[in-house]
Amino acid sequence: MALLNSLFGKKKKEFKASCQITKEPIEKGFGYLLTTAQVVTSRKYWDMIMTEPETLSYTLSHFKNQASGTQMRSMIFEKYAGIAKAWIISDSIINYFEVDKTQARENARKWWASEGSFTPDNTGPAVQTLEPSDYTSLKDYAILEAGRSRVAV
C-alpha cells in the first residue's frame, strides 16, 4: 500500500512566493522579509503607491482639493498600514526602504525555511507597532503629500 501511495499519492505543493509590492516571483531562499512598519515608514514607497496607474486619479483629485481623492488615499493608507503579516519583497524594491538588509535577508531565509510561518519581531499593523506620533506623521505624509512631486496639477 505504501508503494501505491508513493506512486499515486498527492504530492505536496511546492512553497512559492512573489513580491508583495511588485508581484514578481521570488526564488526560494531569496528576497527580504519586512514588517508592515518597515514598509509604510518609507516615503519612497508612498510616492510610488500613490502614483501607480490604479491610484493616480485619486492623487490628482486630492491635489485638486477634491475630498473624494483624499478619502480614497486615506483608504489606501489604511489598507497597507493595516497588514498584520510580514512582507516578502524582491531585490528590485528593497532600496525603497531604510532597513538593515542583512537582517531582512536573514528573516527571509527563516521565513522560507518555515514555509511562511516565521514572523519577525514587531510584525503586525503599523498602528500597533509604531509610536503614535510616528504613525500620525507617516499617515499625514502618505495621505496629504505622497506623490506631489510626481504629478503636475
**Domains held by the chain: number:** 1
For residue 144, how many other CB atoms are within 10 A of its CB? Answer: 13
Residue whose C-alpha is closest to residue 35's, from 120, 96, 94, 108: 120
pLDDT of residue 5: 57
Over pLDDT 70: what percentage of the chain?
92
Question: In whole numbers, what is the pLDDT of the chain averaged over residues?
Answer: 92
Q: What is the pTM of this model?
A: 0.87
Mean local confidence (pLDDT), 94-109: 97
Q: Is position 3 within any domain?
A: no
Q: Is position 12 within any domain?
A: no
Give start and end residues of each alpha helix (H) in the chain.
Answer: 2-8, 36-40, 43-49, 56-63, 67-81, 101-113, 126-129, 132-140
131 pLDDT higher than 90: yes
Range of the domain at 54: 17-150
